[in-house]
Amino acid sequence: MRWDVRRLAQRAVGGPPTIPVAVRVRAGELDLPTVHGVLELGLRVGEAMLSLGAAAADVTTMIQRVTSAFGLEGAQVDLTFTSITASYDPGSLGVPITVMRVARMRTVDYDRLAKVLDLAADVTTRRVPISEAAAILERAHDDLDVILRAPHPYRPALVTLVLSAMAAAVALLLGGGPWVALVAGATTAVIDRVGRRLARWGLPAFFLQAVGAAIATAVAVLLLVLVPRLPVELSVLPPSLVVASGIVVLLAGLSLVGAAEDALSGFHVTASGRVFEVMLLTLGVVVGIGAVLDVSRRLGVALDVVHDLGGTAPFVLQIASAAVVAGAWAVASFAPPRAALVAAAAGGGAWAAFAVLRFLHVGPAVASAGAALLVGFAAESWGPRLRVPSLVASACGIVPLLPGLAIYRGLFLVVDDSSSLGAGAQALLGAAMIGLGLAAGVTLGELVAAPVRRAAWRRRAGRPG
């Protein structure tokens, strides 16, 4: 009986901690200049990833992998919204080193991001021997210079054309006809060219969003004035769909997925900064649309609110349009052709899942979250096999589901009449819930797929779980 109690007590005792805390740093074997170069390489890789659209958790993990490959196991990495700090204490016999870099600019460039990830993967595939550390480090810095200085794979004119095709596909997706698609594409081309010119003048992103939204709304007002004088009915060319198409293009560049992933991964400071950035840029769209709507009403030109047109286009056309939207945004973000095709497939699949859920009378926010969850799971599961970063497929795949029409409807109701203020606020809240559902769904799908993919890799490699 005493032996059974002892065995039971041994089983009740837990194992070692699964989360390391306050790990003691051992003395390193690299000399001081090489340690500084390793930290600098890790921070350069991290700064490039953060500036090109990667999430904070991925950036921190990659920096730690780079430093660990060179033997700096105890390196500490801290990341905020714009700055990255790495510190290494070689022990009592050495001098601690701390290096910091600031990511001042943010853009979406999946071509350079994929190449940076490939470079980091090559460096971290094996433990770097001490005798080769300096040479490998110098070569990695040179390769990173080549990647970051390389020209974009697509010219600005091609990007403008692709964005026009994206807006035209959004118009078809929302139920518009060929004339709406043509006008929406031309309007987006004007928005892109004007935005590029203003960006070269140093205008902040908030004002670029406001100007783009104002151009789309002004075109809609102009259509409302000219169409009655043309042999075209307003039902054939509804101006509101032009605004909604432009809004989706403007919202596509916002880092909704990155903000949600940072928050769920424990990077609350970075997540707060990204959420505020998303809110600020969305507010720019609100200001641009609201200003033009208010001026047009004062001039006696009143736009009509558009009702939900989802489902009016044939189902096959909806899926094809969603695929074009996702693939076009991937190309506009400088994704390689393979990644753009994967993103197009993700966009078409996301819209199909969304349409099925809506057919089952699921609410728009929940349906969007469910479709995004499937996109995130598929992107994380199949992206590495197809040699496509999961971020490209997930971020581009949800673009067709962005609530451009809901945002326009809410703004119209707010500006239209004070009695519609509550309905407008409700519509805007619904749009915000859709955006939150998209971001949370994608993040949850990626988190669920990650251990499944690792378990499958272990089975194929014949390793124990």
Assess contact for 127 and 69: CB atoms under 8 A: yes
pLDDT, tens digit (0-9, with 9 covering 90-100), for 163-211: 999 999 988 888 888 888 999 999 999 999 999 999 999 899 899 999 9
Alpha-carbon separation of residue 115 from 254, 314, 334, 391 (angstroms): 22, 39, 12, 14
Residues 434-458: pLDDT tens digits? Answer: 888 888 888 888 888 877 666 655 5
What is the structure's pLDDT at 56? 84
- Position of tokens 């349906």? 367
Give the sign of the dihedral formed by CA 380, CA 274, CA 333, CA 67.
negative
Q: pLDDT at position 424, please?
A: 74
> CA nearest 216: which of 296, 126, 315?
296
Greater confidence (257 vs 162) lies with 162
Residue 272 tokens read as: 């707060």
47-51, 260-264, 341-345: range with lowest mean pLDDT = 260-264
Q: Residue 465 pLDDT > 50, yes or no?
A: no
* 46 pLDDT higher than 80: yes
At residue 371, the pLDDT reads 94
Q: DSSP code of 419?
A: G
pLDDT at 301: 76
Express each pLDDT in 6-24 by its tens digit. 665 556 666 666 656 655 5
Q: How far apart are CA 225 and CA 207, in angstroms?
A: 27
Whole-number percent of the chain with pLDDT over 70: 83
Residue the block writes with tokens 């407008």:
424
- Residues 334-363 have a mean pLDDT of 93
DSSP 53-73: T--HHHHHHHHHHHHHHTT-T
Most confident of the ranges 91-105, 137-151, 388-402: 137-151
394: left (phi over 0), alpha (psi -120 to 50) or beta: alpha
Residue 127, pLDDT > 90, answer no
Distances (CA, A) of 186 to 171, 231, 314: 12, 20, 24
Q: For residue 449, what are the β-bridge partners? A: none
255's tokens: 């880092």
pLDDT score recorded for residue 26: 54
- Write the DSSP assignment of 286-317 as a string of letters: HHHHHHHHHHHHHTT--PPPPPP-TT-S-HHH
Q: For residues 120 and 407, which has the higher predicted lDDT (pLDDT)?
A: 120
89-115 tens-digit pLDDT: 877 667 788 899 988 888 888 999 989
Instruction: Give residue 7's pLDDT.
Output: 65
Count CB neighbours of 302 within 10 A. Answer: 14
Question: Do the Cβ atoms of 305 and 353 come closer than 8 Å?
Answer: no
pLDDT of res. 310: 45
Long-range (24+ apart) CB contacts under 8 A made by 135-143 are 137/34, 137/37, 137/38, 137/41, 137/70, 138/37, 140/41, 141/37, 141/40, 141/41, 141/44, 143/119
What local confidence, expressed as pLDDT, does residue 106 receive? Answer: 81
pLDDT at 273: 85
Averaged pLDDT of the chain: 82
Considering only CA atoms, give the Rg of the chain: 25
- Return d(Cα 92, Cα 366) in angstroms, integer: 55
311 — pLDDT class (breaks 50, 70, 90): very low
424/292: higher pLDDT: 292
DSSP code, position 236: T
Place of tokens 């506009």: 332
- How far lies 171's CA from each of 177, 323, 401, in Å? 8, 13, 13
